[in-house]
Structure 1
Amino acid sequence: MNLPEKYLASMKEMLGDDFESYLNSFDDTRLYGLRVNNLKISTEDFLKISPFKLKPIPWIENGFYYEEDDKPAKHPYYFAGLYYIQEPSAMTPANVLPINKGDVVFDMCAAPGGKSTELAAKLDNTGLLITNDISNSRTKALLKNVEVNGDNKICVLNEDPKQIKDRFSEFFDKILIDAPCSGEGMFRKDNKLIKAWEKTGPEVYAEIQRSVIMSGAEMLKPGGMMLYSTCTFSKLEDEETIKYLLTNRDDFELVDIKPYEGFSHGFEESDSDKEMNISKTVRIFPHKMEGEGHFVALLKKKGELDPDNNIHFVNPGFNNKVPKEVTDFLDSFNFDYDSKYINIRGTYCYLVSKYMQEEKGLRIIRNGLLLGEIKKNRFEPSQALAMALKLKDYPNVIDLDVNDERVVKYLKGETLDCDDFTDVKNGWVLIGVSGYPLGWGKFNNGQVKNKYLAGWRWM
């Protein structure tokens, strides 16, 4: 691998005697990881049905290494949202940030959504997760991933954080910033990043990171926690960014991260660094752990959150008249909702978190759970609603065995013959695999007209 001389010199200075071990790690076999979605299934239950050769990631409770020939992205359980494919070290930030049920959380630079899906699982459909990315094209993947995950207390934004920091001043209990970076920690995984580094190096990204982390500081409540992470080794982007925040905001302090064998401390190079406790930050090096390069820092905004009065904004609700066909459908099965938080936009219906601010002035990709669409006095439920349900919640279900060839046919958008399901009634039917929803169909005398979302189909 043709690594730039400037990069090699900086790594040699940083690592000293460990430099050769780091270079030797480029010869190691690439690692692949998946993280179990505990919003849908416990880790224990997933291991009972997993068809893959899995090995635990020691510092991630629901993370596992898989073998390349497993191909988990081509398995029905992936389409059911039972796990998310993610590089092992990249699982660390969302794992480290402590989330309590009922928190209002911001994932500031979220696409494609791996960290958001874990934050949502920790929230367990309580509170609110606002997940954001500045790139409009990348938010499309972000939206799909959080919907496959089954999240229903979400808002997906497409904003520059510095443009909305005043709108959300001291609004969030927790913030995760997986900042845009030069990607040095991923050179081993994807050597195309080397050319990008040569064009846009740490100096460019450091300016972006300082803007982003200072915006996060404005949006965090006193007593709240903020997690900053990158997938680069550059001190300019890592320790120096944290020092920039602590120098300019004396209301922030670093917090200890639970140690794990192989974690390295951040570099302290001066008395000022020691006063700031920079060694509390964590570095992951590929020659010391089974993962790519990562940097993680956990910060607290001084003050205390009052558990009896958490000062969450509460939306008074919407003045929409919810059509009867919508409430009739939602009332026909086990689905907990408050009709005053159903927002009608055009023909589409959304169930919005009561903690979400007004939409006006925000570039919103999705606010709340898309329930479905009203079409000529009938209601058509959405793919997102199907993924947010449990099979036991809906009265009309076709649950297929994972080895049934009709599972893949359904995911490809084909019509199904299901006359062996004699208890199923004509009308909307929730299609599942091994007890977990995949999407909707229309059942009529033994046949299922496929309603699986076209953009999600098995290719």
Structure 2
Amino acid sequence: MKLPEKYVQEIKALLGEEYGEYEKCLEGRSACGLRVNNAKISTEEFLKLTPFSMSPVPWVENGFYYNEEDALTKHPHYHAGLYYIQEPSAMIPASRLPVEHGDKVLDLCAAPGGKATELAAKLGGTGLLVANDISNSRAKGLLKNLEMAGHRNILVTSEAPKQLLNYFPEYFDKILVDAPCSGEGMFRRDPSMIKSYEEKGPEIYAPLQQEILSAAIKMLKPGGMLLYSTCTFSTLENEKNIQKVLDDNPEMEIADIRKGDGFSDGIAEPGMDERLSRCLRIWPHRAGGEGHFAALLLKAGSAGTSKSNRSREGSSSQGKAEASFLAFAEDIPWLREHDGKIDVRDENLYLIPGPLCDISIRGLRFLRTGLLLGTQKKGRFEPSQALAMCLRQEEYPNCVSLAGDSIEARKYLKGETVQLPGMYSGWVLVCADGYPLGWAKGMQGALKNKYYPGWRMQ
């Protein structure tokens, strides 16, 4: 690996005598990690269920290292949303943002969704997660990952931070800014990042990061918390950005989040605020992960009512939902007792989270508001893939559970008809080891496949 000379000199200045250890570690393999989706399964139950050998990531209770040779993305448990493949140090930001039930949370640079899915899991089906990515194509992948993980209290947008500020001034309890960066910490994992670094280094990214942070702080409630993170080592993109936040926003304070195996203190260069040492860094030669930086910022004041409280125009009520859907939802507790409302648009039915019922998003570029329940045509209701992923096996009476290691489970995920003993009719919830994969239409001894084509296993 040929590292840029400018980069080498800067890292030598930061690491001193440790540089040789860092350089040597780049010859080794990157660690492979997964994070258990506690919205669907407890960590303890997952470890009993999974056939793969794993060891714990020391800084995240639901994070694990796995063997690179194991094909985890080909296993039905992956398609059931039981875990998310994530680089171990990238698990830090969402784990260090103390999200509580009922919070309104923003993940401002959210694609592909590793951190957003964990934030939503911490909300536990309450509050609201706004997951945003300025790239529409990347936001589509973000939406898929949120839906696969079974999250419903979501708003997925594709906007510039300044545009979001027009809709959400001082609105959020918690904000995550995992900013676009020069990617120095990813050189071992993705050597193509070196060329990108040579074309767009820290000097290009730092002003962009400051602009994103400025908008994010304005969207944060008094009393709220903002976590800023990057996967780079540059002090220009990390501590110096936080220094600028402190200089420009005296109401902001830095919390200490350094506790953890393999963490290093933030770097406070001469003339900089000593509180910057409360930030944390991960170096790949000191810990089982790639490079990462994180800082948790607190905004002074007490949390009050969100300022964005305009009435949302054009919403329908549950009264407009057809009888076929209401009959379908009769046995699903959270569909009967939700705090939002059913919105009917064209032929689609959406469950709008309670917090979204009180604001206007007219003019906002979004991919999803809440949960797509399904479509209704000529009095018939067809449930969506996203709804299947939000359900638990015990919540839907007409279901079949396939063994996770079975040929039938893999045939289903490939979009094939599955032949089974017994008689089936109507909409059948197909599960793997008791965890939903999607829908099928029962036809006597066969399950006519209704698994979403865009998600099929290749």
Kindly provide the amino acid, as one letter, of the partner of residue 300 in structure 1: L
2:106 is the alignment partner of 1:106: yes
Matched residues in 2 for 1:225 and 1:235: separation? 22
Query: After superposition, where does 1:96-135 map in structure 2 within 5 Å?
Result: 96-135=96-135
Name 1:368's counterpart in structure 2: 370
Hey, what's the Cα distance between the residues in 2 that align with 1:315 and 1:449?
43
Distance in 1 (alpha carbons) for counterparts of 2:47 and 2:67: 15
Aligned residue runs from structure 1 range 72-111, under 5 A: 72-111=72-111
Q: Secondary structure at the match of 2:21?
A: helix
Deviations 1:400-456 (A, max 9, x none): 1112211000000001112x245x4x1000000101000000002111110000000
Report the Cα distance in structure 1 between the residues aligned to 2:329 and 2:303, rounded to whole angstroms.
36
Q: What is the rounded CA distance, in whole Å, between the counterparts of 1:260 and 1:53 in structure 2? A: 23
RMSD over aligned CA atoms reads: 1.6
Cα offset, 1:17, TM superposition: 1.1
Measured after TM superposition, the shift of residue 305 of structure 1 is: 2.5
Partner in structure 1 of residue 296 of structure 2:
298
The question of whether the paired residues in 2 share the 8 Å contact of 1:391 and 1:437 is answered with yes
How far residue 73 of structure 1 moved from its aligned partner, in angstroms, is 0.6
| Residue in structure 1 matched with residue 410 of structure 2 by the alignment | 408
Alpha-carbon offset, residue 350 of structure 1: 0.7
Q: Which residue of 1 aligns with 2:435?
A: 436
Aligned to 2:145: 145
Three-state SS of the structure 1 residue aligned to 2:404 is coil
CA distance in 2, matches of 1:212, 1:431: 42
2:214 maps to which residue? Answer: 214
Shift of residue 271, structure 1, vs aligned partner: 4.3
Any idea what SS the aligned residue of 2:195 has? helix
**Aligned in 2, Cα 1:341/1:31: closer, same or farther, shift over 3 Å?**
same
In structure 1, the partner of 2:278 is 280
Contact 1:312–1:355 under 8 Å retained in 2: no
CA distance in 1, matches of 2:70, 2:207: 40
CA distance in 1, matches of 2:331, 2:406: 29
Question: Identity of counterpart residues, as a percentage?
Answer: 51
Note if contact 1:316-1:354 (Cα within 8 Å) is conserved in structure 2.
Answer: no
Distance 2:115 2:441 in 1: 34
Verify the 8 A CA contact 1:314 1:354 in the aligned structure 2: no
8 Å contact from structure 2 (residues 30, 290) kept in 1:
no
Give the whole-Å Cα distance in 2 for the aligned partners of 1:170 and 1:94.
Answer: 21
- Deviations along 1:184-237, whole A, 9 cap, x unmatched? 000011100000111111111111100000100000000000000000011110
What is the number of equivalent residue pairs in this alignment?
452
Q: Which residue does the alignment assign to 2:203?
A: 203
**C-alpha deviation, 1:397, in angstroms:** 0.5
SS at match of 1:165: helix
Cα distance between partner residues in 2 of 1:451 and 1:141: 21
**1:393 matched to which residue of 2?**
395
Q: Which residue of 1 aligns with 2:381?
A: 379
Cα distance change of structure 1 residues 203 and 4 upon mapping to structure 2, 3 Å threshold: same
Give yes or no for contact 2:172–2:306 (8 Å, CA) kept in 1.
no
CA offsets, 1:240-291, max 9 Å, x none? 11111111111101011151132111111134422xx010111100011110
The CA deviation at 1:315 is 6.1
Cα offset, 1:365, TM superposition: 0.4
Q: Is the 8 A contact 1:132 1:159 kept in 2?
A: yes
| CA 1:57–1:405: 2 relative to 1, 3 Å | same
Amino acid across the alignment from 1:327: L
Q: Which runs of 5+ in 1 are unaligned?
A: none
What is the match of residue 321 of structure 2? 322
The alignment status of 1:267 with 2:264, answered yes or no, reads no
Question: Could you say what secondary structure the match of 1:235 adopts?
Answer: coil
In structure 1, what is the equivalent of residue 448 of structure 2? 449
Residues 171 and 117 (structure 1 numbering): CA distance in 2 closer, same or farther, change over 3 Å?
A: same
2:406 maps to amino acid: D
Paired residue type of 2:18: D
Q: Kindly tell me: are residues 339 and 294 of structure 1, through their superposed partners in 2, closer, same or farther at Cα, counting changes over 3 Å? A: closer
Relative to structure 1, the CA distance from residue 197 to residue 70 in structure 2 (aligned partners, 3 Å threshold; closer, same or farther) is: same
Distance 1:29 1:316 in 2: 50
Question: How far off is 1:333 after superposition?
Answer: 4.0
Relative to the length of structure 2, the TM-score reads 0.96
Over 3 Å counting, the alpha-carbon distance change for 1:216 and 1:45 in structure 2 is same
Amino acid at match of 2:456: R
Counterpart residue identity of residue 407, structure 1: A
Supply the distance in 2 between the matched residues of 1:61 and 1:300 (Cα, whole angstroms).
24
TM-score of the superposed pair, with normalisation by structure 1 = 0.95
**Is the CA contact 2:339–2:353 (under 8 Å) kept in the aligned structure 1?**
no
Contact 2:243 2:272 in 1 (8 A): no
Q: Amino acid of the residue matched to residue 430 of structure 1?
A: L
- Compute the displacement of 1:312 (Å): 8.3
Deviation at 1:340, TM superposition (A): 6.3
Asked if the contact 2:185–2:290 (Cα under 8 Å) also holds between the matched residues in 1, the reply is yes
Structure 1 residue 37, shift from structure 2 partner: 0.2
Counterpart residue identity of residue 29, structure 1? R
State the match for 1:6 in structure 2.
6
Partner amino acid, structure 2, of 1:134: I
